[in-house]
């Protein structure tokens, strides 16, 4: 932000839409708006695409987290300029909001990491995967963004507990058959439940068929956990379905701490997503896929699509101020860090962009109204997500490189209120050097300490934390005493705030990465905002027709074997 | 997978164009074939034809001829390789068109069996096949909603071919067993994979391969297949393998069991004044052959019984035939010197009998009974009534009751019992599954036969009967089968203990106090447990739901039989009565004989004028041929009731027919016949 290279002035200086930030939702909007014919200027203050969804090298990730966290000194903002009066506008200075707190980054084998530092593509928003049947995949196919990304299958998913044992998630007929930890009766019950769900889904698509079993309306409205109990599923299976298939966060059995009690209807939808994902693409092994070179590829793919449709991109270009109409108080444009003033009908901003409270006092009511979405709200819901990234040598499970691991609530320690999700990714996905793996961890939390504690507990369950005193000492001695857990080389821990997106007429704000495993809620909010901005205009209308005639293969998404 | 259209119908104009192309290809090819042209070009033409139509058998044959003409002993190995490669490629293309083409699979097999030893990439063939089968499975799974797009992973051609390649490449059976594991991990509903597994396991066990001891292997396989049947209780392939394993379990070291009349320690009474004979009946629980005077020896004071003639109770009287029931007639002569003692002991020894299941009766077994002679016979002349003249049974003579005796039970018995018990416990945990219930009922029956302790015997029958009742409600399509099995269980229950049996036993005053068993009004639809009923002379089965008399042939002492008010549809359903030479009274009134089907289609084997069962040379009367085939062997029949069936079995014509066939008949439908 400090040394901005001199930019030639942008031309034209008037757009339908200015978007700041290149996160997933901003990029989807840029692609959608450009392809519907709007003129779009897409800016990002960072030198890379993806904003909070980017995949970065270890040094870049470190500096990004530090510069966007509370603990770091606020970026030196230029002294507030007096509102310039030479125009019909008044300008309001913008302030950067920090999303991250409790950032702690430690390196245990600096030499090795430095040697390879540029071979890492580490996600800021991990652990995150894509379900084959996700809305984000549909959107990629619709927009044509799928041409810019390749995926690979996640090989396996596991459920873990404090014993350190990882059990396969029996998520299909074949997996139940193979499973070694379920009893015969449990296999029977679980498969029966899958069949019930499948039969219910079939009955809702072909509604004439009376032979299929349907779940009653009353059950659909009841809590999913109660429905599972009603189906006489034992706790072990309930926990697998709730946390490792429906991917829930909160302990559904604990009414006091559960922030989100899932209804059966939603539970069935989540299972349907999983089941449909399993069979969608012929070379995907399971339900989950991951983009090669990291999650940052996804927003980038949408940006490339937008660029093809005429969207103009400028990176390393923060905006410093908003320009409002003096008379009406309405939005007019932005001032770039380069000093240039650019005008647009509408503005969409990254969740980090806010206005300082001190600058609001001098504004009129109308002006305040225009800026309402940028005023940081006093958060009622203090929900946050704590994230961890570990670079390890070895794998948490022999013969498995890319895997998802879920620790259901209370599985690691009695006070564990939320599920902890861990994802291991290997060099096959071009995210790290060979023989290493990147481990992502996340869990929802109310405060930083609680979140970090959960992550550390999951880490110590999976990997060998180096001795803080002499972590450089030879590891041969340790190998004899403890089992072959992988060794930690590098670690980042941070807590991210959850900011919701907001539509505000001319100025709208986008959400931060959420605590979910996939992009469904983010994509959903982007689609909703698109509808609000553009009316009911159909998304990626043009591409849909082209795609359908040219598309030969049934999948359309590249998944490497 | 079955009954599915092979190809989607395409547009008519496309079809016409294709047909035209195919026809011209075909005529070119035929002319090449006739002129024996095997040039590169001509061979490629046949490949093109086969790519479009893999069923063109002539083209496959042409390629075989071409191959023969191109390759000989002195051919350059690299040329041979390239020719074989090409053949395999043509087959592969044809299989893409139709994965179940007989001609294509056969051609591949032929090429490798003829020329495989010249081929350098033979060992790759198995890997290629592995990949092919696996790919089919994965694709099928992906397209499970659209059967037409599936690759047909359930392809027995591929599995058949696999066995050929395995033999050719000398792949070990252990490796192949691992392969079926891999296939099952992807999809455990492939019948061929389970079948292949059963073949491999049998072979490994038979060879005494390392780690394949019979008992351990069966236990291991049972535990493995549990995963399939518990995960998906509606998937039938797993159940088939399970049934096969249970069969192996039950077969292993099975003792041969038998019962006899007269039974061990019993006293029988003869009524003949001068000389005569009485039957000696052996009933085995498995069909046996080779029952003869050399395997069954009689030691008694009764003369002229050294070379007894043993006959199987079946249509074929050859002693090499397999039969469960064997009869010999012991002669006695009251004028003989030993007769003054009026009481003779008879010792019977068995040894060296082999059952059709391969069970060998190695240890000899002996039993003894006593023959008591009474002079004078009070021959019964009047009509036999089924309503009165019965005395209650007195306990004293209970020695007459039959029961099975295990001839060569040994240590293996305990293991089987244990294995069956484990399976029963597992299946009791599998709720609401029709296969599970059926197999549980069968296992409980099997366990019941293994129980030797009287205190717990008969314990399972209530559960078995309930299971069959559940099944009738659950699966109405097969209700009759479950009903039959229910009857079998019920009869075993009735005969399981002396107490329950006594309730049904009587003595008939009017005919030398003969033993009468009354099993009426029990909704029986099938006869069973005859091994315990060999002593019965008078049997009342009226008011049941029987549709056949099958099973009664073992009861060689039967002289009065009541089958009235049942569901017998035809005389051919009474076929087994032909073997009851002592039968004097037969009541088949109020059945459905002569109704819809003269030929009994409900029986497993039916006789008709067309079935060749030794009727050569005898003229069969047209109208009553079915009645004739049964009645003409009942030489002692005196009383027949056939009222309440089809009208053709009444009236003067029928009565004169019967009198002709059964000359000794006195009573027909309750009326005395006048000469």
Residue B586, domain CATH:
3.80.10.10
Pairing type for strands B560-562 and B538-540 reads parallel
Give the integer Cα–Cα distance in Å for A130 and A558: 13
* Per-residue confidence (pLDDT) for residue B303, from 0 to 100: 64
Q: How far is CA B21 from CA A310, A489, B9, B26, B42, in A?
A: 50, 67, 18, 9, 16
Q: Is the pLDDT of residue A1 over 50?
A: no
Please report residues of A whose CB lies closer than 8 A to that of B144.
279
For residue B206, being part of any structural domain is answered with yes
The residue assigned the tokens 């889904």 is A201
Give chain B positions within 8 Å (CB) of A282.
138-139, 142
Domain end residue (candidates: B218, B251, B284): B251
Rounded CA gap, B350 and B360, in Å?
12
pTM of the predicted model, to two decimals? Answer: 0.82
Q: How do residues A478-509 score in pLDDT, each as one tens digit?
A: 444 445 789 999 999 999 999 888 888 889 99
Are residues B365 and B433 part of one domain? Answer: no
Check residue B466 and give its pLDDT. Answer: 94
Within 8 A of B427 by CB-CB distance, chain A residues are none
| Structural domain ending residue among the three candidates B376, B393, B427 | B376
CA distance A50 to A125: 10
Residue B97 CA, distance from chain mean position: 40
CATH number at residue B34: 1.25.40.120
Opening angle at CA B139, ends B134 and B145, nearest 5: 140
Q: For tokens 């996340």, what's the residue?
A: A442
Give the whole-angstrom CA distance, residue B310 versus residue B296.
9
Same structural domain for residues B244 and B127?
yes
Nearest to B183 by CA among B143, B146, B238: B238
Contact B230 A178 (CB under 8 A): no
The Cα–Cα gap between B253 and B15 comes to 62
State the Cα–Cα distance between residues A245 and A273, nearest whole angstrom: 9
**Residue A553 pLDDT:** 42
The rounded distance, in Å, linking the Cα atoms of A70 and B637 is 110
According to the model, what pLDDT value does residue B488 have? 94
- Do residue A188 and residue B230 have CB atoms under 8 angstroms apart? yes
Does one domain contain both B486 and B507? no
Chains A, B: CB contacts within 8 A come to 45
Residue that terminates a domain, selected from B490, B510, B540? B490
Q: What is the DSSP string of B299-343?
A: EESSTT-TTPPPEESSS---TTS-EEEEEEEEEEETTSGGGGG-E
In a domain, B154, yes or no: yes
Q: Look at residue A393 and tell me whether its pLDDT is greater than 50.
A: yes
Helices (H), A475-519: 476-481
Mean pLDDT across chain A: 85
Q: How confident is the model at residue A512 (pLDDT cuts 50, 70, 90)?
A: very high
Query: Is domain A14-75+85-98+293-379+500-534 classified as CATH 1.10.10.10?
Result: no
Measured CB to CB, residues of chain B less than 8 Å from chain A are 138-139, 141-142, 144-145, 184-188, 226-228, 230-233, 426, 429-430
Q: Which residues of chain B neighbour A188 with C-beta distances below 8 Å?
A: 230-231, 233, 430
Please tell me the distance in Å from B88's CA to the nearest CA on chain A: 26
Residue B396 maps to a domain: no
- Residue B392 domain flag: no
**Closest residue to A173, CB basis, from B145, B232, B233:** B232
Higher pLDDT, A441 or B41: A441
Length of chain A: 561
Please tell me if the domain spanning A14-75+85-98+293-379+500-534 has the same topology as the one spanning A172-277: no
Burial of B282 (0-12, 13-18, 19+ CB in 10 A): buried
Q: What are phi and psi of A250, to 5 degrees?
A: -90, 150
* Tens-place pLDDT, residues A366-391: 888 888 888 777 666 678 999 999 99
Whether the per-residue pLDDT at A34 is higher than 80: the answer is yes
| Residues B200 and B296 both lie in one domain | no
> Do B460 and B552 belong together in one domain?
no
| Residue B429 to residue A184, Cβ atoms within 8 A | yes
Are residue B479 and residue B524 in the same domain, yes or no? no
CA distance, residue A285 to nearest chain B CA (Å): 9
Both B77 and B199 in one domain: the answer is: yes
pLDDT for position B406: 63
- Whether residue A173 and residue B226 make contact (CB cut-off 8 A), yes or no, is no
Phi, psi for residue A287 in degrees, rounded to 5: -85, -20
- Which residues of chain B does A178 touch, with a Cβ-Cβ cutoff of 8 Å? 185, 227
pLDDT digits (tens, 9 = 90+) for B306-363: 678 888 887 766 667 788 888 888 877 666 555 555 677 888 888 777 777 776 666 6
pLDDT tens digits along A119-177: 899 999 989 999 999 999 999 998 888 889 999 999 899 999 999 899 999 998 889 99
CA distance A273 to A269: 6
User: Would B385 be classed as within a structural domain?
Assistant: no
Shared domain check, B263 and B240: no
Domain segments of chain A as ranges: 14-75+85-98+293-379+500-534, 172-277
Domain membership flag for residue B658: yes
Which residues of chain B have a CB within 8 Å of the CB of A191? 231-232
Name residues whose C-beta falls within 8 Å of residue A216's C-beta, 6 or more positions apart in sequence.
none
Site from A177, A187, A234, A282 to mutate, B interface, most B CB atoms within 10 angstroms: A177
If asked whether residues B364 and B486 sit together in one domain, one would say: no
Let me know the angle formed at the C-alpha of A464 by A458 and A465, rounded to the nearest 5 degrees: 85
Alpha-carbon gap, residue A445 to A497, rounded angstroms: 10
Contact B591, B566 (CB under 8 A): yes
B77 and B125 together in one domain: yes
Q: State the CB neighbour count (10 A cutoff) for residue B336.
A: 14
- The verdict on B309 and B276 lying in the same domain is yes
Structural domains of chain B, count: 4
Q: What is the pLDDT of residues A170-194, one digit of tens each?
A: 998 889 999 988 999 999 999 999 9
| Low-confidence stretches of chain B (pLDDT beneath 50) | 1-4, 603-607, 612, 614-616
Asked if A185 and B230 come within 8 Å (Cβ–Cβ), the reply is yes
Whether residue B387 is contained in a domain is answered as no
Using CA atoms, how far apart are residues A152 and B672, in angstroms rounded to an integer? 93
Q: Is residue B151 part of a domain?
A: yes
Determine the structural domain holding residue B175 and report its residue range: 14-251
Residues B424 and B507 in one domain: no
Q: In the 8-state DSSP scheme, what is residue A74?
A: P
Q: A186 to chain B, minimum CA–CA distance in Å?
A: 9
Query: Does domain A172-277 sit in CATH 3.30.300.30?
Result: no
- Least CB-CB distance to A177: which of B141, B142, B231? B231
CATH of the domain at B293: 2.60.40.1220
Residues of chain A in Cβ contact (below 8 Å) with chain B = 173-174, 176-179, 184-185, 187-188, 191, 279, 281-282
Can you tell me whether residue B392 is helix, strand or coil?
Answer: strand
Under an 8 A CB cutoff, do B430 and A188 touch?
Answer: yes
- pLDDT (tens digit, 9 = 90+) per residue, A240-252? 999 999 999 999 9
């Amino acid at each position: 932000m400090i040394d901005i290279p001199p930019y030639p002035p942008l031309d034209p200086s008037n757009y339908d839409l200015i978007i700041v930030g290149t996160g997933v939702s901003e990029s989807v909007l840029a692609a959608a708006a450009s392809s519907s014919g709007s003129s779009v200027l897409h800016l990002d203050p960072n030198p890379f695409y993806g904003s909070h969804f980017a995949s970065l090298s270890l040094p870049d990730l470190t500096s990004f987290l530090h510069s966007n966290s509370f603990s770091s000194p606020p970026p030196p903002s230029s002294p507030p300029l007096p509102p310039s009066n030479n125009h019909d506008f008044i300008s309001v200075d913008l302030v950067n909001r920090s999303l991250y707190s409790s950032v702690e980054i430690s390196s245990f084998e600096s030499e090795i990491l430095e040697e390879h530092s540029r071979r890492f593509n580490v996600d800021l928003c991990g652990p995150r995967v894509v379900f084959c049947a996700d809305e984000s995949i549909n959107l990629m196919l619709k927009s044509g963004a799928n041409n810019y990304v390749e995926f690979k299958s996640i090989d396996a998913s596991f459920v873990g507990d404090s014993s350190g044992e990882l059990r396969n998630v029996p998520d299909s007929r074949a997996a139940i058959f193979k499973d070694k930890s379920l009893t015969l009766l449990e296999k029977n019950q679980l498969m029966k439940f899958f069949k019930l769900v499948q039969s219910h889904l079939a009955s809702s698509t072909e509604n004439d068929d009376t032979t299929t079993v349907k779940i009653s309306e009353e059950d659909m409205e009841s809590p999913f956990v109660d429905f599972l109990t009603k189906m006489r599923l034992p706790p072990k299976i309930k926990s697998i379905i709730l946390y490792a298939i429906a991917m829930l966060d909160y302990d559904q059995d604990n009414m006091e701490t559960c922030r989100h009690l899932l209804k059966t209807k939603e539970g069935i939808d989540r299972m349907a997503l999983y089941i449909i994902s399993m069979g969608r693409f012929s070379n995907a092994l399971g339900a989950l896929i991951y983009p090669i070179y990291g999650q940052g590829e996804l927003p980038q793919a949408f940006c490339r699509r937008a660029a093809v449709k005429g969207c103009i991109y400028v990176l390393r270009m923060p905006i410093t101020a908003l320009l409002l109409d003096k008379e009406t108080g309405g939005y007019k444009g932005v001032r770039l860090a380069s000093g240039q003033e650019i005008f647009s009908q509408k503005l969409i901003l990254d969740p980090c962009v806010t206005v300082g409270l001190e600058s609001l006092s001098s504004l009129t009511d109308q002006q305040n109204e225009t800026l309402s979405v940028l005023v940081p709200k006093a958060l009622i819901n203090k929900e946050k997500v704590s994230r961890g990234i570990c670079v390890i040598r070895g794998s948490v499970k022999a013969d498995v490189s890319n895997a998802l691991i879920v620790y259901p609530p209370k599985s690691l320690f009695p006070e564990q209120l939320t599920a902890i999700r861990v994802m291991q990714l290997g060099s096959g996905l071009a995210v790290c050097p060979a023989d290493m793996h990147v481990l992502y961890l996340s869990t929802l939390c109310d405060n930083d300490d609680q979140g970090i504690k959960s992550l550390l507990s999951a880490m110590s369950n999976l990997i060998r934390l180096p001795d803080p005193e002499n972590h450089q000492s030879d590891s041969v001695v340790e190998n004899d005493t403890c089992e072959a857990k992988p060794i930690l080389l590098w670690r980042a821990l941070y807590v991210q705030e959850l900011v919701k997106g907001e539509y505000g007429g001319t100025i709208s704000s986008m959400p931060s990465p959420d605590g979910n495993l996939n992009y469904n809620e983010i994509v959903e909010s982007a689609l909703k905002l698109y509808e609000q901005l553009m009316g009911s205009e159909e998304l990626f209308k043009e591409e849909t027709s082209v795609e359908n005639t040219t598309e030969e293969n049934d999948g359309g998404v590249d998944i490497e074997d | 997978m079955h009954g599915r259209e092979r190809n989607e119908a395409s547009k008519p104009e496309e079809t016409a164009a294709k047909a035209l192309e195919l026809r011209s290809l075909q005529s070119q090819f035929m002319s090449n074939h006739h002129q024996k042209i095997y040039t590169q070009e001509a061979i490629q033409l046949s490949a093109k034809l086969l790519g479009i139509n893999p069923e063109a058998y002539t083209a496959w044959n042409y390629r075989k001829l071409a191959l023969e003409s191109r390759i000989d002993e002195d051919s350059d190995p690299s040329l041979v390789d390239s020719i074989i490669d090409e053949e395999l490629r043509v087959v592969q293309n044809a299989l893409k068109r139709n994965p179940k083409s007989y001609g294509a699979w056969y051609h591949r097999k032929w090429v490798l069996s003829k020329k495989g030893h010249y081929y350098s990439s033979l060992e790759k063939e198995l890997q290629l096949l592995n990949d092919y089968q696996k790919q089919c499975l994965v694709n099928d799974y992906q397209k499970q909603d659209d059967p037409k797009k599936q690759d047909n992973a359930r392809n027995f051609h591929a599995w058949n071919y696999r066995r050929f390649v395995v033999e050719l490449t000398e792949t070990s059976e252990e490796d192949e067993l691992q392969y079926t594991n891999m296939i099952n991990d992807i999809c455990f509903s492939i019948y061929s994979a389970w079948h292949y597994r059963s073949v491999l396991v049998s072979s490994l066990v038979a060879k005494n391969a390392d780690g394949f001891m019979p008992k351990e292997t069966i236990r291991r396989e049972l535990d493995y297949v549990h995963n399939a049947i518990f995960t998906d209780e509606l998937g039938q392939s797993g159940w088939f393998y399970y049934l096969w394993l249970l069969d192996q379990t039950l077969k292993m070291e099975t003792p041969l069991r038998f019962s006899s009349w007269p039974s061990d320690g019993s006293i029988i009474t003869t009524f003949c004044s001068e000389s005569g004979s009485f039957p000696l009946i052996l009933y085995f629980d498995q069909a046996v052959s080779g029952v003869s005077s050399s395997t069954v020896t009689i030691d008694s004071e009764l003369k002229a019984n050294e070379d007894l003639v043993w006959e199987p109770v079946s249509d074929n009287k050859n002693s090499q035939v397999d039969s469960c029931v064997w009869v010999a007639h012991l002669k006695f002569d009251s004028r003989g010197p030993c007769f003054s003692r009026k009481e003779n002991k008879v010792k019977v020894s068995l040894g060296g009998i082999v059952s059709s299941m391969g069970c060998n009766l190695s240890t000899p077994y002996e039993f003894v009974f006593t023959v008591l002679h009474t002079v004078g016979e009070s021959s019964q002349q009047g009509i036999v009534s089924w309503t009165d003249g019965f005395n209650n049974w007195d306990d004293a003579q209970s020695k007459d009751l039959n029961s099975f005796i295990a001839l060569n039970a040994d240590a293996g018995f305990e293991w089987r019992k244990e294995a069956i018990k484990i399976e029963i416990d597992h299946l009791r945990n599998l709720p609401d599954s029709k296969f599970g219930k059926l197999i549980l009922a069968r296992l409980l029956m099997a366990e019941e036969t293994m129980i030797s302790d009287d205190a717990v015997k008969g314990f399972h029958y209530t559960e078995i009967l309930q299971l069959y009742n559940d099944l009738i409600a659950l699966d109405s399509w097969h209700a009759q089968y479950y009903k039959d099995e229910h009857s079998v269980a019920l009869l075993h229950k009735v005969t399981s203990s002396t107490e329950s049996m006594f309730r049904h036993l009587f003595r008939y005053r009017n005919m030398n106090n003969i033993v009468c068993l009354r099993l009426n009004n029990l909704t029986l639809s099938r006869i069973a447990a005859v091994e315990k009923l060999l002593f019965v002379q008078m049997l009342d089965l009226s008011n049941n739901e029987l549709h056949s008399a099958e099973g009664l042939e073992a009861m060689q002492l039967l002289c009065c039989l009541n089958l009235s008010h049942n569901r017998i549809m035809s005389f051919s359903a009474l076929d087994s009565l032909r073997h009851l030479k002592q039968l004097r009274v037969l009541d088949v009134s109020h059945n459905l004989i002569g109704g819809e089907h003269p030929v009994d289609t409900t029986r497993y084997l039916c006789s008709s004028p067309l079935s060749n069962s030794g009727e050569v040379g005898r003229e069969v009367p047209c109208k009553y041929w079915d009645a004739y085939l049964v009645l003409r062997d009942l030489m002692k029949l005196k009383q027949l009731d056939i009222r309440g069936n089809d009208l053709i079995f009444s009236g003067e014509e029928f009565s004169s027919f019967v009198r002709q066939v059964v000359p000794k008949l006195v009573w027909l439908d309750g009326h005395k016949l006048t000469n």
